[in-house]
Structure formats: structure tokens, C-alpha cells
Amino acid sequence: MSDKIERIEQSHRISADRSAVLVIDMQHGFLDEGASLEVPKGREVIPNVRRLIEVCRKKSVPVIFTEFVYATSIPCLRGDPFGPEHLPADPEQPTGYGHPSSNCLIGPESGEGPESATTIDALAPLESELVIQAHTYDKFYGTHLDLALRSQGIDRLMLTGVTTDVCVNATLISASTRNYRVTAVTDGMATIHDHIQDACFQIWSNKFARLKSAEEVFAEL
């Protein structure tokens, strides 16, 4: 083990009283079959994420959920032009990938069923657990996530969720920039293409986070 890796291992080791797990955007609008922004590989990591949540709850480690949401009252670039699927569906027009589909849309025209912005039932938050709704990929931007963590003395984060290269990536880099010690749970996150996921892992391990499997995380908790 190189000196750099050893120092990262020491400084980022999970401590139950200083750590939290972020479950990023495990929502119907990204995981359900038929969703316009469906991430099929995301369904494969649900068991690992669920087990991590269960272990953290038993250890009294905070579990925090994030949900990407879009609102027509906040017409940001996440909808037009980068995510037309989040725009309100037109009943007279086709829906699906590349088309307005009300994906993760909240408000009067909110998405329903496979386009819903809510976290999937298999990972449903407890009433006592924090759910951060964010209008951007970075879950720190414009939310009270940072305050919620620092007020509990948390400086170590375990990240899971979808998609690896978008919301997980943006949040992970933002967390590292804020000096949180980040552990990316590699088999607890997913995106569309394996080579993109691998590229994220390479970038993160060099400058932003350490990479651990769910089993390796369990061993530290």
C-alpha cells in the first residue's frame, strides 16, 4: 500500500458517530421500468443499498435521502435544454426518452407512476429521516444538506445512488470540496454505461474519494 493510499484510508475510515450515508435519487423516475430516464442497472444495486441502510439504522448512523425534482416555477437548465424528460408531458405528443414526460416533476402537473419523484418503496425513508429535494445535480447547492450534516458533527459520508456520473458525481465532488471525507460505495451506485462508471471511479480515487464495496463498508461500521 502506497503512503498516499494509507493516508486516505486513515483519514476517511468510517466512524459511526461521525458518518452518514447519502442515498442519492433512488426514485421511481429513474428506477421503474418504463420511466423516461430509466436506469436498468440501478435496480441491480437496490439490495446492497437496502442492506447498507439497514446496517446504518442499527448502528444509529444517519441515513439521508435525496430526490431530484423539477418544477416549472424554477425553469433551470436541468429541464431545458439538458433534461426535456422533466418538462410537463403533452397528452397530444409522444413521451419517453428525449420527450417531455413529467419525469420527477413536482407541482400541479407532477409526474406519476414510473415518472414519480418519490423514493422507491423498497428504500422508503422513515418518517424521522431527512429527505432533501434538490433542483440541481449537486445536492448541496440550494439545500440545507450541509447544515444538517455539520450540526450533527458529521464529516464522513458514504455515497450511494444514481446516476454515478451525474447526481452522484456532482454531489461527491461538492462534498469533497467542502472537506467531507467521502467513501463511494461502488456496488451501491449505477449508471447506464459501465465504461462511464469506471471513468468516474478512476477520477474519484485520484482526487476526491476512496472506493469501497458494501461489504468493506459493513466491516468498518
Which pTM was predicted? 0.97
Predicted confidence (pLDDT) per residue in 147-158, tens digit: 999 999 999 999
Asked whether 221 and 197 are in contact (CB, 8 A), the reply is no
> Residue 1's pLDDT is what?
67
* CATH code reported for the domain at 3-68+117-220: 3.40.50.850
Mean of the pLDDT values across residues 72-87? 95
Backbone angles phi, psi at 22, to 5 degrees: -105, 125
The model's pLDDT over 170-211, given as tens digits with 9 standing for 90+, comes to: 999 999 999 999 999 999 999 999 999 999 999 999 999 999
Per-residue pLDDT, averaged over 40-62, amounts to: 98
- For the segment 75-98, the average pLDDT, to the nearest whole number, is 95
